[in-house]
Structure 1
Amino acid sequence: MNESDVERVRVSCEVRNRLYRDGVLAGTDLPVEELAEYRSDESALIWIDLLAPSVADIVALSPLIGGEVELHPLAVEGAISGRQRPRLVRFRDHSLLHAQAVRFDPSSDRLATTGLSVFILARALITIRSDDKLPLDPILADWDDNPDLAAYGVGFLLHTVVDTLVDGYFVAIDELDDQIQALEDELLVGSGRVNAVQLRSFTLRKAVAQLGRAVLPMNEAFSALLRQGAHVLDATMVPYYQDVYDHALRATERIDGLRDTIESILATHLAMQGNSLNEIMKKLTAWAAIIAIPTGVTGYFGQNIPFPGFGQQSGFWLSAGMIVALATGLWWNFKRRDWL
């Protein structure tokens, strides 16, 4: 690529970047053409962020920071889709990390995700976000707070990105946990409509399942990053990645706990519904038995055969007294047994 080619490069999407030289920040949000001047500088470390780029944007940009490296077409296609399963893919001279940033909305009990693809090269890191819901400020602030680690190259940049992702997992897990605990309290107290509790249980279970699909595969990706020879990772950065890996494992355990709690709530809800139905059936049966007494007495005395008081006023009072006495006795017996 000659100088005239560099000048003709244009990227239509939003671009953020940083340039480090010899472990020191040398520039922020530089023109893309200026970054191209450092593509062959062994002391340069480049980070570029693309927001919802097209294939043409990535193809136009990759030669500027990769030197002789050519991004694999399958990697480019997967990066712009934004919906890849979290995993680490190795190519001949670069790697591609697919991940998902998560955020939970307590007002709707729904989990939203932002696709993140990270091209990992020897002296450059390209992050591709599917939308702007994943903020860059925490990443940039962490880089500024740890300038001494910039000397360790791409491993320093990548660590902050994945560490921010894992921190976001815990924020979503904590918010989900709060909502699940509130639902559990609502269920045990008995407030709220039964259908609303059941519907919210299914909504939260869906959010937990979606969170698990974003977090669980990252354990395998982090394990691959830590594998010797699988990534341009300085030995000094290994403990930092191990710490992120441990946090990801803990996030997985908490997700399993949330899933178990949701299943417990649903099981308790169904058991309470069954108990409530049994109570209703018991009360209905008791009242049906009480109502059957007048029917039986009046039916007996309504026969066209002589009986004590037949054709006399005393017969009416006898039947009425039997109805009141037997119904009252049955009602008192059911009440004593707590059937009513």
Structure 2
Amino acid sequence: MSRMIVDCAIYRDGHRIEGPEDYSDALAAARAAGDTFLWIGLAEPTTAELDLVSEEFGLHPLAVEDAVNAHQRPKLESYPDSLFMVLKTLGYHSEGHLVTSGEVMLFLGDSYVMTVRHGSDSPLAALRAQLEKQPDLLRYGPSAVLHSVCDTIVDGYLEAADGLQADLDEVEADVFAPGRPVRGTAERIYGFKRQLVAARRATGPLLEPMLRLARGGEPFVEAEAQPYLRDVADHLARANEQVEGMDRLLTDILSANLAQVSVQQNNDMRQISAWAALAAVPTMIAGIYGMNFDFMPELRQPWGYPAALLLMTVVCVGLHRVFKRSGWL
């Protein structure tokens, strides 16, 4: 049990206070005090472990099932005794130009907030320490934790979007660079598009739940937190628009790259055809004069052989100039 519990603390008036180490006793103490709340953080709990906690907190079985099984879609669900929210985290790694994702689930209820994380890209450890330095914000209780978690995760979206934008600019420069298209550009674009798909799965579905929180009326969310949540919703909308804009631009870049490849292939075919025509003329003339018939023009003349070579040269030079002017060579 201790393995999955990252931290468990009681907060009163924005400050962390001493309390029972057992989460069950700590929750009872927070509810008895009336002006305190319990913040418990869990890391990748198993079904059995979370079932023990859910019995004490009165969590809904469907929400518990979602919290155990990762790979959930971002959402906000209201139950009689709790509010359940799922968020996806994004991490951008510039070394491999890779976007990784994780998940954070939040339970808000009577005098408690529970955070459940899955994956390595979790900002909650640093977030708790940062919040404890802001008692004016933390005194709003579980709503302050909800806002801070959402705000930190959405800020991560913006950082990931900035990193992806830099990669997109590099891909765009390679596609439209002078000369032949860079080999493997299409594969690179497809790989980049997969990164954007992961980002869209995090940012897109979260917009509607954030707007619900910003409008107010959700249980266990204080009205004082609504302005902060509206600010988070605005940042999320900006991140969502940035990701969608990159996705549309990447589609255009892919179309441009395929068009460039097609044009280059046409140019190659024209050059091959031009050189084939240049080779066909002397081959045809040599083939005619190599048929060994007795009666052929200039066959017995001493200047016949040089004349045939001169004819080949003149025709090839003429074709070369024609192809050069037309851009085939």
TM-score, normalisation: structure 1: 0.89
Contact 2:30 / 2:111 at 8 angstroms: preserved in 1? no
**How far, CA to CA, are the matches of 1:192 and 1:11 in structure 2?**
59
1:198 and 2:186 aligned: yes
Structure 1's 139 and 28: CA in aligned 2 closer, same or farther, altered over 3 A?
farther
Structure 1's 213 and 329: CA in aligned 2 closer, same or farther, altered over 3 A?
same
Structure 1's 192 and 202: CA in aligned 2 closer, same or farther, altered over 3 A?
farther
2:212 maps to which residue?
Answer: 224
1:52 maps to which residue?
Answer: 44
* One-letter amino acid of the structure 2 residue matched with residue 180 of structure 1: L
**How far, CA to CA, are the matches of 2:180 and 2:4 in structure 1?**
48
Contact 2:175 / 2:181 at 8 angstroms: preserved in 1? no
* One-letter amino acid of the structure 2 residue matched with residue 186 of structure 1: D
* One-letter amino acid of the structure 2 residue matched with residue 22 of structure 1: D
**How far, CA to CA, are the matches of 2:129 and 2:150 in structure 1?**
14
- Mapping of 1:1-340 within 5 angstroms? 10-27=1-18, 30-32=21-23, 35-36=26-27, 37-64=29-56, 66=57, 70-189=58-177, 194-303=182-291, 304=293, 306-340=295-329
Contact 1:82 / 1:117 at 8 angstroms: preserved in 2? no
**How far, CA to CA, are the matches of 1:99 and 1:244 in structure 2?**
13
1:4 maps to which residue?
Answer: none
Percent identity of equivalent pairs: 29
**How far, CA to CA, are the matches of 2:38 and 2:21 in structure 1?**
11
**How far, CA to CA, are the matches of 2:90 and 2:70 in structure 1?**
13
**How far, CA to CA, are the matches of 1:48 and 1:254 in structure 2?**
34
**Structure 2 SS opposite 1:214:** helix
Q: Which structure 2 segments of 5+ residues have no match? A: none
Query: 1:196 offset after TM fit, Å?
Result: 1.9
**How far, CA to CA, are the matches of 1:11 and 1:145 in structure 2?**
26
**How far, CA to CA, are the matches of 2:204 and 2:19 in structure 1?**
34
Q: Which structure 1 segments of 5+ residues have no match? A: 1-9
**Structure 1 SS opposite 2:184:** helix
* One-letter amino acid of the structure 1 residue matched with residue 7 of structure 2: R
Query: 1:309 offset after TM fit, Å?
Result: 1.8
Contact 1:212 / 1:255 at 8 angstroms: preserved in 2? yes
Structure 1's 75 and 123: CA in aligned 2 closer, same or farther, altered over 3 A?
same
Contact 1:309 / 1:315 at 8 angstroms: preserved in 2? yes
Query: 1:48 offset after TM fit, Å?
Result: 0.7
**How far, CA to CA, are the matches of 1:193 and 1:158 in structure 2?**
48
* One-letter amino acid of the structure 2 residue matched with residue 19 of structure 1: I
**How far, CA to CA, are the matches of 1:308 and 1:61 in structure 2?**
105
**Structure 1 SS opposite 2:122:** coil
Query: 1:107 offset after TM fit, Å?
Result: 3.4
**How far, CA to CA, are the matches of 1:126 and 1:288 in structure 2?**
75
Contact 1:11 / 1:60 at 8 angstroms: preserved in 2? no
Listed one character per residue, the Cα deviations across residues 177-207 of structure 1 (whole Å, up to 9, x for unaligned) are 1111111112222589744211110011011
Root mean square deviation of aligned Cα:
2.2
Query: 1:30 offset after TM fit, Å?
Result: 4.6
Contact 2:5 / 2:40 at 8 angstroms: preserved in 1? no
Structure 1's 28 and 217: CA in aligned 2 closer, same or farther, altered over 3 A?
farther
**How far, CA to CA, are the matches of 2:20 and 2:127 in structure 1?**
15
Name which of structure 1's ranges 215-224 and 34-43 shifts more when overlaid on structure 2.
34-43
Query: 1:231 offset after TM fit, Å?
Result: 2.7
**Structure 1 SS opposite 2:176:** helix
Shift >6 Å, 4+ stretches: none
Structure 1's 145 and 292: CA in aligned 2 closer, same or farther, altered over 3 A?
same
**How far, CA to CA, are the matches of 2:161 and 2:118 in structure 1?**
22
**How far, CA to CA, are the matches of 2:36 and 2:328 in structure 1?**
82
Contact 1:86 / 1:100 at 8 angstroms: preserved in 2? yes
**Structure 1 SS opposite 2:206:** helix
TM-score, normalisation: structure 2: 0.92
